[in-house]
Amino acid sequence: MTPQFLLDTHILIRWLSEPKKLSREQFRALEDVVRRGEYVCVSGFSLLEIALLGERRRITAGLNELFHELDTNPSIRILSLTTDVVREVSALGDALRDPADRVIVATARIHRLRLVTADQRIIASKLVGVIE
């Protein structure tokens, strides 16, 4: 079972706490993964991003609930930040400025995954295949 998708942080939060906010295509792709007993990937950097968003009260979902779901949901695998990912971040050029976006895009590229995102800067960069 080979994963196909990496979730951008905001998509991960929506999927776990407000799935109705996903686009039809995003929802369908994620539901297909669950139905087939497969899994999606999440960058470990997204965990830090979620913690910081919670600290700043920029997300309404409870942090403990989100992290529990990440620890126990068989449809989610967390990918570590590796030297290969960091090298890829450096190779991206200046199309993306946000460090989190750069790490997430680099992670998708290194692992040959499509990125599920609604981030228009990432989509416009064409650095990685996306599901909008």
Burial category of 7 from C-beta neighbours within 10 Å (exposed 0-12, middle 13-18, buried 19 and up): buried
Number of domains forming the structure of the chain: 1
Q: Taking a C-beta distance cutoff of 8 angstroms, is the pair 105, 83 a contact?
A: no
Which structural domain range is residue 114 located in? 5-131
**Sign of the torsion angle spanned by Cα atoms 72, 103, 40, 23:** positive
pTM of the predicted model as reported, rounded to 2 decimal places? 0.93
Q: What is the pLDDT along the chain (132 residues), one digit of tens a residue?
A: 788 999 999 999 999 999 999 999 999 999 999 999 999 999 999 999 999 998 888 887 788 889 999 999 999 999 999 999 999 999 998 889 999 999 999 999 999 999 999 999 999 999 999 999
CATH of the domain at 121: 3.40.50.1010
